[in-house]
Amino acid sequence: MNYLENLIRPSLFKIKPYSSARDEYKGTDGIFLDANENPFGELNRYPDPYQKKLKTELSKINSVSAEAIFIGNGSDEVIDLSFRIFCEPSKDKALTFVPTYGMYEVSAALNNVELIKMPLNDEFQIDFNKLDEFINDSSIKLIFICSPNNPTGNSMDGIEKILKKFSGVVIIDEAYIDFSERESWIKRIEEFPNLIVSQTFSKAWGLAAARIGVAYAQPEIIHWFNKVKPPYNVSALNQNAAISALKNKRATDEQITCIKACREQLIHELNGVNRVKKIYRSDANFILVEFDNADDVYNYLINKKVITRNRNSVIKNCIRITVGLPVENEKLISELKIM
């Protein structure tokens, strides 16, 4: 068996994926009497199961082949499928670095996979001294690295070391990469057969409602995602929304520029708020802020109809604040100043 086949759940080799009507006949014109659709209407046909148009647009922007792209029903589907592809329930394990995005843990639990949670150090970076014992554990099949990390906002250093040493699959969650000055790891997928880069249309692209997640990896890995995914996992409405956004990339780029400028402005203003104890640097569209008493501040803001994310239970006295519209950010600051 080759390197990748050793990592795949053995039972998957036996599974024959559901072959949909759109799998069996791939042409686009003709009289379609194959899928029991209603012949009337506009949304009456099943969507393209492999989202070819969307992948063509994505491959232009990122200079990767369409075979290196998987589209999920949000990145949450990418995370879930990763467990299903690589981890045998109640046997294999996964690892991540905490505090981080909560879905890795939920998805691990749903799949009955143990998730090892290594604490990040005081700078919210990976503690490499403690990682070695895990990196050589062959029951660990997946490592999730969120970079820029949610909720801390910083980018992770030293990822390349993990990619080189770890013999399982490394998933780099780049949900916030568009707000960062760092390069995406997409450019490195050809170098690392064990790398999956996960991105989303939910943040910078402004399409959280459309549920579009994207995984980039070598075609050998993408093949397995296609094999285990539900046949029509992304609706035509959602595919079209993502295609329109990509065709109008300039508008998104302008929004990103604006959000990054607002982020710096917000940091500047927060520095002048009495109850703020520390503001963490951010490569994302949110800022992690330590207050003298996060619960108090959070509840006060709720009363003012300003909703933030209280992370006190995860990082003492910290609140995660998303960068909003300039007027929304100003309202937040003015409420905090009179508190």
Ligand X SMILES: *Cc1c(COP(=O)(O)O)cnc(C)c1O
| Paired strand residues for 196 | 171
Is residue 238 close enough to count as binding ligand X by CB under 6 A? Answer: no
CB 136 within 8 A of CB 168: no
Q: How far is the CB of 178 from ligand X (least distance, A)?
A: 12
Name the nearest CA neighbour of 328 among 225, 277, 228, 258: 258
Using CB under 6 A, which residues numbered 75 to 94 contact ligand X?
75-76
Is residue 146 close enough to count as binding ligand X by CB under 6 A? Answer: yes
Q: Which of 96, 111, 147, 150 binds ligand X (CB under 6 A)?
A: 150
Q: How far is the CB of 288 from ligand X (least distance, A)?
A: 13
The two tokens of residue 315 are 């990082």
Residue 119's SS3 state is: strand
Q: Where are the alpha helices (DSSP H) in the chain?
A: 21-24, 52-62, 75-86, 103-110, 128-135, 159-165, 219-228, 236-247, 249-270, 294-303, 326-337
- Give the strand order in the sheet containing 114-119: 69-72, 213-216, 195-200, 169-173, 140-146, 93-98, 114-119
Residue nearest to ligand X (CB): 74
d(CA 184, CA 278) in angstroms, rounded, equals 28
| Paired strand residues for 232 | none
- The interface region with ligand X, picked from 43-51, 57-65, 188-196, 197-205 by CB under 6 A, is 197-205
Q: Which helix (H) or strand (E) holds 286?
A: strand 286-291
Q: Which of 126, 143, 175, 297 binds ligand X (CB under 6 A)?
A: 175
Q: Which of 69, 70, 71, 74 binds ligand X (CB under 6 A)?
A: 74
Is residue 99 close enough to count as binding ligand X by CB under 6 A? Answer: no
| Count, residues near ligand X per rule CB under 6 A | 13
Q: Which of 48, 80, 92, 173 binds ligand X (CB under 6 A)?
A: 173
Between 49 and 148, name the residue whose CB sits nearer to ligand X.
148
- Taking CB under 6 A as the rule, which mask of x and - marks residues 210-229 in contact with ligand X? ---x----------------
Between 54 and 146, name the residue whose CB sits nearer to ligand X.
146
Interface with ligand X (CB under 6 A): 74-76, 101, 146, 150, 173, 175, 200, 202-203, 208, 213
